[in-house]
């Protein structure tokens, strides 16, 4: 694109600044230099914090000078005014300023925004950093048990883990996405035992159902049968806890676990068969959800390494054995309690296999971080994991990071797996797509679509609504998922963002059909306010990605892309694009629209949300 003479000169001046640092850092340096020259002191850079200017005042960025008055020796208004005058004289980035008490409001020159646009809009990877040469970051998410299908809680885990991984990649990190399948343990034995007793030998294909659902049904059957048995024992005079321990079903499940750990051929064969059913079901769910992994670990392959670490801890004297043969770690000096690592019968617990898995991942990847995406009910577990590894002398213990997220609740309360009251992930996704089908058809957004094109659109809208609704909430907060609220073409939703993208693509197609192009035209000399608002938001995108990576929060990207879509719609409603008579301005607005679509698509991709070309 050709530049006007004025824009070209400022573009050359600013290019290094644009590539090396943000506008805020550039202005901070200018501010510090001005302060030192005016008042013979240089403040600590941390004292200079730029904020977005309040809408009732002219300006782009505001800095509070009150913390600097001891150094300036002047009143707040005089300090701010002198700094504003000096900054305007020393850089062409500042076009104007105003002072409100001790707040200096700075107006960034249109030439800066136009120069930014000229450079960034030609960068197909705008907002993404090149991959660095540092150590990888390992992100574990999903971590399902093979005794039940994936449910709504897993949906948040999967979407959060996958999105954080993609955001870290966009920020320049090498990322290894891993899954730890909890494929052994007493809960697995419960489903196996129930199938032996109640399954009548029927296979998933016999029942025409996914294997993970059949195994999940068996888990529920076990729980119901166990409760009935416990009630009978309590009626006979036993205390509830005693009845739960003595119930025949529970005793059989524990015996089955012991036989599994001893390598019993019959038990292992049934375990492999039923887990195989589950894995086939998981694969279908993951594929539809758009989730993938670079490596999958299995607890059955890592718990023995964990047992070896426990044996090492006993030898070193950092762990101890009780009279019943169980092995523990004393963490009372660390403000916690004693933690069980091996049961009295020698079987392992979750902590055992997590020790082994952590060691294995360090051996596999030598990562700089081991991020575990696990619900906040496991905060204590990860505190213990780090402390045990520290006591075992593993210097990388502090590389472990628990990305603790809140639970997903429904409008009517929490879910319970054992009682069969969970929201199945497959059924949820299907419900979202069907709702998208109904809403989209009602609004007439599939005119001219073939059946296949319409089905693909419904899938994008339904799953986009699900992903956006879950990811727009800060991960650390408990959230209530309401499917009805998630599919709305006018609210803070995925479909609103998708529709905005499709609207822009319609504009750029119409521009091409009419022979309009941004090529060959220079930049306008100034910007309308709605244009500037849009450019400001586009400028912020790389910083949002970086902040989201640091905070491990896709919510920052989600709310940013919603703000961008909302701002574009204001621009579209108030500013003519294709009907603009001035060819240079029209070309710029077409280019600005196309760049906005690029950033919407880029940000949406970090959430796993697909945007349709038309709707």
Given pLDDT bands bounded at 50, 70 and 90, which one contains residue 18? very low
Q: Taking 80 as the threshold, does the pLDDT of residue 5 lie above it?
A: no
Query: Rg for the chain (alpha carbons), in Å?
Result: 30
**Interval 497-505 mean pLDDT:** 97
| pLDDT at residue 552 tops 90 | yes
pLDDT at residue 499 tops 80: yes
The answer as to whether 414 is a domain residue is: no
What is the pLDDT, as a whole number, of residue 392? Answer: 97
Q: What does the pLDDT read at residue 10? A: 36
State how many domains the chain has: 3
pLDDT for 109-123, tens place per residue? 999 999 999 999 999
Regarding whether 287 and 429 lie in a shared domain, the answer is no
Domain boundary, last residue among 120, 146, 167: 120
Domain check: are 437 and 550 in the same one? yes
* pTM for this prediction: 0.90
In degrees and rounded to multiples of 5, residue 47 shows phi and psi of -75, -15
Are 552 and 443 within one domain? yes
Whether 344 maps to a domain, the answer reads no
Residue 548 CB burial class (10 angstroms; 0-12, 13-18, ≥19): buried
Query: What pLDDT shows up at residue 522?
Result: 78
Q: Tell me, yes or no, whether 399 lies in a domain.
A: no
Share of the chain above pLDDT 70, in %: 95
Mean pLDDT, the chain, integer = 92
The predicted model gives 149-166 an average pLDDT of: 96
pLDDT confidence bin for 58, thresholds 50/70/90:
very high
pLDDT at site 487: 82
Residues 112 and 237 in one domain: no
Domain end, chosen from 244, 276, 292, is at: 292
216 & 115 share domain: no
Reported as a pLDDT band with limits 50, 70 and 90, residue 491 is: confident
Q: For 86-112, what is each residue's pLDDT tens digit?
A: 999 999 999 999 999 999 999 999 999
Tokens standing for residue 530: 């709605």
CA distances from 432 to 167, 436, 614 (A): 25, 6, 20
Is 354 a member of any domain? Answer: no
- pLDDT mean over 288-303: 95
Split at pLDDT 50, 70, 90, the class of 566 is: very high
107 plus 240 within the same structural domain: no
* Domain stops at, among 120, 150, 176: 120
DSSP assignment of 63-74 equals EE-GGGHHHH-S
Residue 1 pLDDT > 80, yes or no? no
99 and 223, same domain (yes or no): no
Residues 242, 98, single domain; the answer is no
The answer, yes or no, to whether residue 609 has pLDDT greater than 50, is yes
Share above pLDDT 90 across residues of the chain, in percent, rounded to a whole number: 85
Q: Are residues 476 and 602 located together in one domain of the fold?
A: yes
In a domain, 65, yes or no: yes
Same structural domain for residues 98 and 212?
Answer: no
What is residue 485's predicted lDDT score, i.e. its pLDDT? 83
* Residue 109 within any structural domain of the chain: yes
Residue 99 has φ and ψ, to the nearest 5°, of: -120, 130
- The arithmetic mean of pLDDT across residues 311-329, rounded, is 96
DSSP state of 145: B
The span from the CA of 327 to the CA of 311, in Å, is 9
**Across 207-223, average pLDDT:** 96
- For residue 125, being part of any structural domain is answered with no
pLDDT at 20: 31
Note whether residue 262 is domain-resident: yes
pLDDT for 412 equals 63
Q: Mean pLDDT throughout 194-201?
A: 96
DSSP class of residue 334 equals G
CA–CA distance, 480 with 278 (Å, rounded to integer): 28
Which CATH number covers residue 81? Answer: 3.30.1360.70
pLDDT of residue 8 exceeding 80, the answer is no
| Structural domain of 27 | 5-120
**Burial per residue of 247-262, b for 16 or more beta-carbon CB atoms within 10 angstroms, e otherwise:** bebbeebbebbeebbe
Burial pattern 466-502, b for ≥16 Cβ within 10 A else e, equals bbbbbbbbebeeebebebeebbebeebbbbbbbbbbb
């Amino acid at each position: 694109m050709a530049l006007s003479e004025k824009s070209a000169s400022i573009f050359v001046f600013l290019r290094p600044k644009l590539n090396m640092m943000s506008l805020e850092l550039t202005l901070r340096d200018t501010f510090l230099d001005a302060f030192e020259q005016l008042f013979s002191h240089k403040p600590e850079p941390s004292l200079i914090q730029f904020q977005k200017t309040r809408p009732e005042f002219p300006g782009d960025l505001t800095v509070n000078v009150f913390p600097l008055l001891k150094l300036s020796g002047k009143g707040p208004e005089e300090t701010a005014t002198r700094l504003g005058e000096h900054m305007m004289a020393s850089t062409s980035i500042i076009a104007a300023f105003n002072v409100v008490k001790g707040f200096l409001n700075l107006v960034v020159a249109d030439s800066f925004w136009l120069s930014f646009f000229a450079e960034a809009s030609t960068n197909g990877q705008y907002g993404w950093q090149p991959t660095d040469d540092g150590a990888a970051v390992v992100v574990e998410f999903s971590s399902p048990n093979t005794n039940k299908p994936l449910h709504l809680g897993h949906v948040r885990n999967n979407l959060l883990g996958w999105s954080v991984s993609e955001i870290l990649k966009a920020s320049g990190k090498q990322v290894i996405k891993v899954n730890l399948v909890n494929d052994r343990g007493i809960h697995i034995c419960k489903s196996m035992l129930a199938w032996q007793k109640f399954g009548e030998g029927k296979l998933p294909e016999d029942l025409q159902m996914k294997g993970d659902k059949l195994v999940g049904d068996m888990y529920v059957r076990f729980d119901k049968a166990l409760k009935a048995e416990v009630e009978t024992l309590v009626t006979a005079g036993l205390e509830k806890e005693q009845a739960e321990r003595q119930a025949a079903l529970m005793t059989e499940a524990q015996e089955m676990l012991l036989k599994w750990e001893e390598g019993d051929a019959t038990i292992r064969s049934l375990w492999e068969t039923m887990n195989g059913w589950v894995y086939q079901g998981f694969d279908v769910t993951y594929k539809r959800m758009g989730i993938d992994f670079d490596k999958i670990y299995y607890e059955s392959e890592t718990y023995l390494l964990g047992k070896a670490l426990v044996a090492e801890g006993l030898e070193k004297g950092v762990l101890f054995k009780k009279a019943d043969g169980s092995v523990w770690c004393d963490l009372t000096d660390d403000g916690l309690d004693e933690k069980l690592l091996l049961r009295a019968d020698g079987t392992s617990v979750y902590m055992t296999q997590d020790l082994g898995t952590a060691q294995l991942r360090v051996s596999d990847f030598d990562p700089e971080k081991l991020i575990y995406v696990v619900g906040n009910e496991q905060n204590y577990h990860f505190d213990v994991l780090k402390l045990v590894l520290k006591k075992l002398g593993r210097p990388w213990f502090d590389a472990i990071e628990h990305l603790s997220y809140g639970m997903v609740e429904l409008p009517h309360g929490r879910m319970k797996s054992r009682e069969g009251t969970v929201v199945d992930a497959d059924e949820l996704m299907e419900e979202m797509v069907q709702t998208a089908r109904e809403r989209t058809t009602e609004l007439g957004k599939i005119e001219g679509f073939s059946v296949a094109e319409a089905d693909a659109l419904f899938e994008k809208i339904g799953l986009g609504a699900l992903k956006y609704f879950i990811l727009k909430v800060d991960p650390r907060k408990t959230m209530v998922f309401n499917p009805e609220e998630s599919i709305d073409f006018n609210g803070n939703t995925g479909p609103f963002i998708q529709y905005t993208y499709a609207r822009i693509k319609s504009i750029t197609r119409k521009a091409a059909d009419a022979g309009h192009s941004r090529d060959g035209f220079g930049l306008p000399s100034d910007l309308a306010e709605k244009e500037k608002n849009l450019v400001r938001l586009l400028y912020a995108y790389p910083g949002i990605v970086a902040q989201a990576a640091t905070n491990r929060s896709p919510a920052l990207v989600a709310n940013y892309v919603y703000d961008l879509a909302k701002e574009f719609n204001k621009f579209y409603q108030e500013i003519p694009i294709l009907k603009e008579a001035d060819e240079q301005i029209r070309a710029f607005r077409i280019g600005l629209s196309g760049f906005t679509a690029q950033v919407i698509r880029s940000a949406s991709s970090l959430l796993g949300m697909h945007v349709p070309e038309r709707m």
